Amino acid sequence: MSAHATPSDTSSQARAVQAHLLRSLTAQQRVAQVFELNALLCALIAKDSKSDARQLLKRLGMGDNLPPLVLERFNARSRTMSHLFALIGRVVQTLEALRIPYLVAGSIASSRYGEARTTQDIDLVAIIQPDQVEPLVQALQGEFYIDPEMIREAIAHHSSFNIIHYDSAFKIDFFLPELDEWHRQLFARRRQEPFEIEGTRSTLAFASPEDVILHKLVWYRAGNEVSERQWRDIIGMLEVQAESLEWDYLQQWAEHWGVMDLLERAREQAGIT
């Protein structure tokens, strides 16, 4: 089924009311919704599951190829995801202490700007230098599965690597882009959002809503336009952020990436004239 033909179980009037209410939430309230949904999902799965950690992790979308240490730590510790917000804070504080530029992207960012939904991971875009690898590993290895060779390979090939939180099995994906013009704009346009993390006021850097929309449009096309979750994220952001989006910027880069037709289709579906 094509994206523009996807049926909805929510009326256009109800969606307009929902978008209005979402606009009234703070950034922290929107992101917190994601973790509340994840906590509920994990609680339901754990309650229903009499399986071992490997089977539970598979149901959470983590796959079968995790190292034994991850399974051991997951079996031995709490399965709750109620403290994931603090988890992001600790990782971000480490990046800031090491002067590693970063921004929050992916479904966490789209939930900040649109509708909250569950997710199995956190996406961070970062610029990591080779001499920062060891300090990063040293800072996080007590709490996370983290492989220095994976990080070095990601730096060399401008690809990605993952770290996995032992207590919750939650995954953080790091994307290390080549600094072309768009990615320079991406970092220049970051938005610092105030948050309270474990009782301490701090900030998190988010990609701008325009850049999150563009990134999801590009990924949606690369995935043969079949991901309803990606498309729903895009529509949700357009509905909530319609009045504040920089349309000239969106259209410029949508044209550059060859996704202008998708942007126009999404704009029409979101009811933006």
Q: What angle do CA 15, 29, 39 make, to 5 degrees?
A: 95
Q: Delimit the domains of the chain by residue range.
A: 26-180, 208-273
Contacts within 8 Å (CB) and 24+ apart, 6-9: 6/228, 6/231
Confirm if 110 and 236 have CB atoms less than 8 A apart: yes
Confirm if 31 and 202 have CB atoms less than 8 A apart: no
31-47 tens-digit pLDDT: 666 666 555 444 433 43
At the second CATH level, the architecture of 26-180 is: 2-Layer Sandwich (3.30)
Q: Among candidates 111, 113, 114, 132, which has minimal Cα distance to 122?
A: 111
Confirm if 126 and 102 have CB atoms less than 8 A apart: yes
Task: Print pLDDT tens along the chain (273 aa).
Answer: 333 433 344 445 545 655 666 677 777 776 666 666 555 444 433 433 444 545 544 544 455 555 565 555 545 443 443 466 677 888 999 999 999 999 999 888 888 888 877 776 789 999 999 999 999 999 999 888 899 999 999 999 999 998 888 876 778 899 999 989 999 999 999 999 887 766 667 788 999 999 999 999 999 999 999 999 899 999 999 998 998 999 999 999 999 999 999 999 999 999 997
